[in-house]
Amino acid sequence: MKCLVCSSLFPDYMENCLSQDVIDELEHHFRFCEKCRVCFSTYRLTVMLSSKVEQPAAVSPESVERLTSLLIQRFFNGARGA
């Protein structure tokens, strides 16, 4: 397996979307290619850090209530569900 091919498989490897044959070939390549091994481990950590970089921005309950009231007013003539 060439390094360029190996690198192109990172996303599917992370999502477990590769066939076992390809996984075996990829992991065999990792054993002998330090460049791809390091590239993949730092790639995977980059993805993990990206998932943590943002604090979840929660919309306030007041905003949700305001939005709901607006929609009820606009589309249901002010009649809320029970």
Q: Which residues bind other proteins (CB under 8 A)?
A: 3-4, 7-8, 10-12, 34-35, 38-39, 41-43, 45-47, 49-54, 56-59, 63-64, 67-68, 70-72, 74-76, 79-82
d(C-alpha 27, C-alpha 42), whole Å: 16
Q: Cα separation of 23 and 36, whole Å? A: 14
Task: Closer to other proteins by CB, 7 or 23: give it.
Answer: 7
What's the closest the beta carbon of residue 20 comes to other proteins, in angstroms? 20
Give the residue with the Cβ less far from other proteins, 23 or 39.
39
How far are the Cα atoms of 28, 32, 66 from residue 50, in angstroms, in the given order? Answer: 28, 28, 32
